[in-house]
Amino acid sequence: MLRRSKTSATLIESLNQALALLKNARNVVVLTGAGISTPSGIPDFRSDKTGLWRFANPFEVATLWAFRDHPKRFYNWMRPLAKDILTARPNPAHFALTQMERMGKVTAIVTQNIDGLHQKAEANKVMEIHGHLRSMSCLDCGYHDESAPYLDDFLQTGEPPRCPRCGSVMKPDIILFGEALPHETVVAAQEATLHSDLMLVAGSSLEVMPAADLPALAVRSGSKLIIATLGMTPLDHLADVIIRGDVAETMPWLAEHLEKS
Q: Which residues does 213 contact at the CB level (< 8 Å), separation at least 6?
A: none
Residue whose C-alpha is closest to residue 3's, from 256, 255, 249: 249
User: 130, 144, 237, 257: which one is catalytic?
Assistant: 130
Is 195 a residue of the active site? no
Could you write out the DSSP letters of every residue in the chain? Answer: ---GGG--HHHHHHHHHHHHHHHH-S-EEEEE-GGGTGGGT---SS-TTT-GGGTS-HHHHSBHHHHHH-HHHHHHHHHHHHHHHHH----HHHHHHHHHHHTT-EEEEEE--SS-HHHHTT-S-EEETTEEEEEEEETTT--EEESHHHHHHHHHH-PPPB-TTT-PBEEEEEPPBTS---HHHHHHHHHHHHT-SEEEEES----STTGGGHHHHHHHTT-EEEEE-SS--TTGGG-SEEE-S-HHHHHHHHHHHHHH-
Cis link prior to 58 (omega < 30° from 0)? no
Annotated active-site positions, please? Answer: 130
